[in-house]
Amino acid sequence: MIPDVRAAAAHEAARRRTFAVISHPDAGKSTLTEALALHAHAITRAGAVHGKAGRRRVASDWMEMEKARGISITAAVLQFAHRGCVLNLLDTPGHADFSEDTYRVLAAVDCAVMLIDAAKGLEEQTRKLFDVCRHRGIPVITFVNKWDRPGREALQLLDEIEREFRLRPTPVTWPVGDAGNLRGLIAVRTPGQMLRYTRTLGGAQEAVEEAIPAEQAAAEEGTDWDQAVEELELLRAAGAVHDQEAFLAGRTTPVFFGAAISNIGVRLLLEAVIDLAPPPGPRELAGGGTRPVDAPFAGLVFKVQANMNPGHRDRIAFIRVCSGVFERGMTLTRAATGRPFATKYAHSLFGQDRSTVDIAYPGDVVGLVNAHSLRVGDTLYAGQAAVFPPIPSFAPEHFAVARPVDVSRSKQFRRSIAQLDEEGVVQVLVSDLRGEQAPVLAAVGPMQFEVVTARMAGEFSAPVRLEPLPYRLALATDAAGAEALGRSRIRGEALTRVRDKAQLALFRNHWQADLLQRDFPGVRLDQLIAAHG
């Protein structure tokens, strides 16, 4: 790369913030995503995800199932500018059945905003996501949502975070008034005032924010103000003060309070993403070492999605720019094959909407259109070779045989199943016994099967019938293990995963797997990665 291109990559990388919004289902993740875009003036009105008549959908939820159910099923990318920075916000599925999609997104971000429901506290999926972030070294900002509804005490929530995650919470904002009686917020950096909010109808616009001097807040809010000030003083005395180095090292988490659906506290969170979240930095390579942001272009494919726009019926590979400058039309090398890859059609994404992008920098997400050869986990590079660590598949726990409802659509059935496999919607397993006309679909959770059924009928015009199988355990094996399973007294099954040709042995339970190893000592049965990462 010539010096000015390297300088441009480094300069633009410093302006990027690439982060994911993650949470347990129903914590308000997509609502917060919309509210952040609203406060950055990327949209003029916020939608809602409750599915009530007359309400608009959120920009990040574009699938028919997402619109109908008011939940996020697949990850979405929203890019917008604020305060001279470019934000790449990745909204993720919250439901545990779609953990794989969330894990893939976390491979593409530099920070995560974790939502916690004020009433429910740390839920199961919240715990798993915190573990994944810790495992990947991703710093976490915490937003305690729904403070306008009855819930737990603020200090109790902080104690729960520290006790369960060994992660010290450091408040950046603090509520005046208990959950369900939100009077305002104190920004720790400006303790001499209270921010009071006036909600707008339906939360479609930014809440009106008014700074109230401490003396006035004390006179008008009385004990609520006194309690908030006292709690902040106790926390400060205990050392619960934001430290940027500790945050980036994953030892602390800055904490914010608010109500996303009413746009309360969202502006402060948006400012914190710019001020606190790290910009793109050197990226670890699979063979050791790192690739700096000013090195020649390299990017990671973390998601593949078909039919985002029914009018196009195309296929998009989402690639995170990790180093260098991406220019539309450049010819790259696909690390998996060593073959050239042309980038003629490249888009910037905002939910379902897209526009042609001519140039992109580290931290940006580019949609490569009709990139049929690309797979999740692929590395593309220019110049010096680079390979980023692979994105692992999770251990499936639910299995079903897929058959076409209309046998005359068998060719379309096979193509569509292959597409869903490439997207990572499900894992597709095959065997000589069943053949290509009856592949076995493997999923982390049963809702993935609902997505398959809906998309096969609605998007691909190839309705499918699913026949559940009794297995609940998949272990990695080899040809000898598959042969042993075929000769054993155990009702299991050996299949090949289409995605990577790995051989899997399916069992009803661990007892059956143990029995096979007793009958055939030395047989290979290895654990796959669990859904919590």
Domain count within the chain: 3
CATH number of the domain where residue 367 is located: 2.40.30.10
Q: Say what the pLDDT of residue 17 is.
A: 98
Q: Does 309 have pLDDT greater than 80?
A: no
Between residues 122 and 353, the one the model is more confident about: 122
Q: Does 69 have pLDDT greater than 70?
A: no
Q: Average of pLDDT values for 57-70?
A: 49
Gap between the Cα atoms of 18 and 111, Å rounded = 7
Residue 65 lies in a domain: yes
| Summary mean pLDDT of the chain | 89
Produce one character per residue of 360-380: b if its CB has 16 or more CB atoms within 10 Å, e if not: bbbbbbbbbbebeebbbbbbb
Both tokens assigned to 12: 């633009």
Q: What angle do CA 272, 60, 250 make, to 5 degrees?
A: 35
Q: Strand 252-257 to strand 283-284: parallel, antiparallel, or no bridges (unpaired)?
A: unpaired
My answer on whether 323 and 290 are in the same domain is: yes
Q: Say what the pLDDT of residue 38 is.
A: 93
Q: What angle do CA 445, 94, 450 make, to 5 degrees?
A: 40
Residue 529 lies in a domain: no
Q: Is 94 annotated as a binding residue?
A: yes
My answer on whether 242 and 267 are in the same domain is: yes
My answer on whether 258 and 297 are in the same domain is: no
Gap between the Cα atoms of 253 and 259, Å rounded = 19
Q: Say what the pLDDT of residue 53 is.
A: 35
Q: Map tokens 């008008």 to a residue.
A: 220
Which residue spans within 343-390 are E strands per DSSP? Answer: 346-350, 353-356, 359-360, 365-369, 379-381
Produce one character per residue of 111-128: b if its CB has 16 or more CB atoms within 10 Å, e if not: bbbbbbbbeebbbebbeb
My answer on whether 212 and 333 are in the same domain is: no
My answer on whether 425 and 515 are in the same domain is: yes
Give the domain range for residue 447.
398-519
Q: What angle do CA 113, 119, 123 make, to 5 degrees?
A: 60
Q: Say what the pLDDT of residue 50 is.
A: 33
Q: How many residues does the chain have?
A: 533
My answer on whether 59 and 134 are in the same domain is: yes
CATH number of the domain where residue 200 is located: 3.40.50.300
Q: Map tokens 């990947």 to a residue.
A: 136
Q: Which of 82, 86, 45 is nearest to 366 (CA)?
A: 86
Gap between the Cα atoms of 333 and 419, Å rounded = 23
Gap between the Cα atoms of 505 and 414, Å rounded = 23
CATH number of the domain where residue 414 is located: 3.30.70.3280
Q: Say what the pLDDT of residue 51 is.
A: 34
My answer on whether 213 and 326 are in the same domain is: no
How does pLDDT run across 357-407, given as a tens digit for each residue?
999 999 999 999 988 889 999 999 999 999 999 887 788 999 999 999 999
Q: Is 92 annotated as a binding residue?
A: yes
pLDDT band at 45 (very low <50, low <70, confident <90, very high): confident
My answer on whether 259 and 307 are in the same domain is: no
pLDDT band at 313 (very low <50, low <70, confident <90, very high): low
Half-sphere exposure of 482 (CA within 13 A, CB side): 15
- Best mean pLDDT range from 115-124, 127-136, 504-513: 504-513
Residue 77 lies in a domain: yes
Residue 449 lies in a domain: yes
Average the pLDDT over each of 91-95, 208-212, 481-485, 503-507 and give the range with the smallest value. Answer: 91-95
Q: Does 57 have pLDDT greater than 70?
A: no
Q: Average of pLDDT values for 138-162?
A: 97
Residue 525 lies in a domain: no
Q: Does 21 have pLDDT greater than 60?
A: yes
Q: Is 95 annotated as a binding residue?
A: yes
Residue 8 lies in a domain: no
Distances (CA, A) of 237 to 156, 163, 170, 229, 232: 17, 19, 12, 12, 9
CA 102 remoteness from chain centre: 3
Between residues 306 and 386, the one the model is more confident about: 386
Residue 389 lies in a domain: no
Q: Does 284 have pLDDT greater than 60?
A: yes
Average the pLDDT over each of 128-137, 233-242, 281-290, 410-419 and give the range with the smallest value. Answer: 128-137
Q: What angle do CA 271, 27, 65 make, to 5 degrees?
A: 110
Q: Is 93 annotated as a binding residue?
A: yes
Q: Does 3 have pLDDT greater than 90?
A: no
Q: Does 532 have pLDDT greater than 50?
A: no
How does pLDDT run across 165-215, given as a tens digit for each residue?
889 999 999 999 999 999 999 999 998 999 999 987 767 789 999 999 999
Q: Average of pLDDT values for 90-105?
A: 74
Residues 6+ apart with CB under 8 A from 93: 71, 72, 73, 74, 75, 101, 102
- Best mean pLDDT range from 167-181, 419-433, 485-499: 167-181
